[in-house]
Amino acid sequence: MPDEIPGNFSAQSITPIALLILHTLLDRYEQPERQKVVRVRLNATQYGAYFSGQDVAPRRETNRVLQHLAEQGLVRVHWQKWEEGNWLEKVDLVDAQVEGVYRLLQRTPQPLRAGVLRRLLQSQTPQAPWHGAFLSWALNQLNTYRSPAPLILEDTAGEQAGIWNRDLLSALDALAQLSGPTLERTLSVRLFGDSKRLEVCRRALLGILRRHAPDGAEYGDDDWALLRAYHLDRVPEYIPLAGPLVLQFRSEAQQTPVSGYARHILDLSPFSPSLALSGAMLREIAVVACSAIAVITVENSTSFSELLAVRPLSLLALYTAGFASPAVVSLLQEVRRLQPALPFYHWGDVDVGGLRILAHLRHHLGPFSVRPLAMDSATLMAQAAHTQPLSDAERVALAQLENHPALADCAGIIKHLLLTGRKLEQEAVAAEWAIGQMTPG
């Protein structure tokens, strides 16, 4: 089959409509349970330009291309009744000439394309359960003739498809092995010698985590909270905190005291209004004393700042910036181990995001171990003038949270949100109101 076909046009100049029809025919030919006749029926939805009433040129050129291909025996064309040569009804692929269509389109048959990607997937070693789940899923997609996206099977991308697949799988392998805070650009340079390559892969990484990581859906649309949960971050993390807490490096806390040896102790009590510690440091810290009457985590920075101005000195406050990062979770778990009976509160937005953050904290600290603060119907009603309407997506998400096992005690506020169709940002609530809602014990 020559690359040139009669009619003063080449394979590279076939009309877009004709190309779409030919590729669709091959797509259907490659389906394992295809019909005996591989056929495309033209309709205005998929082939709008062909049926245009303003410009007849695309239809005429497409007719000319397909007529020539039919004369060469590659396809069969069927015209609408009484409209031969004018309006196409359907186009069939001639099975015996299918190799000629592949050559004309410079397209590699699906089994060969799938084989390259299959071998690449089979060369990977699962580094975490979610990583293994993705690799198994992608192989199953190939075996059942389905799309393995975000991996690329189509050879229309040429060499770039292979580069993308290799880079994405390398990024997944590295992400699955991270055990401590790592900056995106640092990892990108280590993997690819390019500080921005991982940024290009970020959307695909997020999609894979949301689908295959056990807690992937827990973070909603907060991309960086999800990546941070797997130790990838954009910038170094610093966590502001304040209150009666004494910290020490874990390695020193485990050493046997030696006479004259000065331990490195950090007492947060004197620091006002707060002190910000790096996430990397907090992961190495042991809590050696905590005389707080309660712990409160705060979702948003404005509310955290206002809380610091009025908080009792005996209250331990931490800013989470949304979902608590692994470093914040590690510190809270340390406090919980030292003071099992200490009340924990979370103050956040009265909406889907705030409830998800509460559920996330409870997941790491124990069922119902963290009490919602100023996230109830009373707060919503008191600040009714400052509420905002729920979107349709938020309504759907709230309905799903009604069955969340970690939020069984929040059924009242979820129902209130759905009934009123309103939500409340944390910043509308005074810090004094939140403190006033804290209960002893």
Third-level CATH fold of 290-436 = Dna Topoisomerase Vi A Subunit; Chain: A, domain 2 (3.40.1360)
* Sign of CA pseudo-dihedral 210, 211, 215, 217: positive
For residue 276, which phi and psi values (nearest 5 degrees)?
-100, 125
pLDDT value of residue 330 = 92
pLDDT, position 155: 57
Burial of 12-25, coded b for 16+ CB within 10 Å and e otherwise, reads: eebbebbebbbbbb
CB 324 within 8 A of CB 282: no
Which one, of 271, 403, 290, lies nearest residue 338 by Cα?
A: 290
pLDDT of the residue at 154: 61
Cα distance between residue 80 and residue 86, in whole Å:
8
Among 66, 76, 67, residue whose Cα is nearest residue 97:
76
Q: Which of 161, 160, 156, 159 is nearest to 26 (CA)?
A: 156
For 4-105, which CATH class? mainly alpha
Structure confidence at residue 264 (pLDDT): 78
**Which residues, 6 or more positions from 3, have their beta carbon under 8 angstroms from its beta carbon?**
10, 11, 103, 104
Quickly tell me which residue has 């954009």 as its tokens: 234
How far is Cα 299 from Cα 349, in angstroms, rounded to an integer? 7
* Residue 44 · residue 51 · CB < 8 Å: yes
Distance CA 242, CA 313 (A): 9
Domain with CATH 1.10.10 in the chain: 4-105
| C-beta of residue 427 within 8 angstroms of C-beta of residue 302 | yes
Q: What is the pLDDT of residue 19?
A: 92
Helix (H/G/I), strand (E/B), else coil: 244:
coil
Ranges in the chain annotated CATH 3.40.1360.10 = 290-436
Task: Specify the pLDDT at position 242.
Answer: 97
Task: Count CB atoms within 10 A of the CB of residue 158.
Answer: 10
pTM for the full predicted model = 0.75
313 with 267: CB under 8 angstroms? no
**Structure-block tokens of residue 7:** 């009619």
CA distance 427 to 47: 51
Residue type, 52: S
Tokens of 122: 């089979």
For tokens 């590729």, what's the residue?
Answer: 23
In contact, 280 and 180? CB cutoff 8 Å: yes
Q: Which two tokens stand for residue 371?
A: 């009490």
Cα separation, 210 vs 324, in Å, equals 17
Query: Partners of 240 in the beta sheet?
Result: 276
Q: Alpha helices, DSSP H only, in 181-314?
A: 184-192, 197-212, 223-229, 250-253, 279-282, 301-310
Confidence at residue 37, expressed as pLDDT on a 0 to 100 scale = 84
Strands, DSSP E only, in 42-181?
75-79, 88-93
Backbone angles phi, psi at 270, to 5 degrees: -75, -15
DSSP 300: S
Q: How far apart are the first and last CA of the chain?
A: 83
d(CA 94, CA 99): 10
Give the per-residue pLDDT at 195.
96
Residues of the chain where predicted confidence (pLDDT) is lower than 50: 1-9, 157, 258-262
Q: Is 34 helix (H, G, I), strand (E, B) or coil?
A: coil
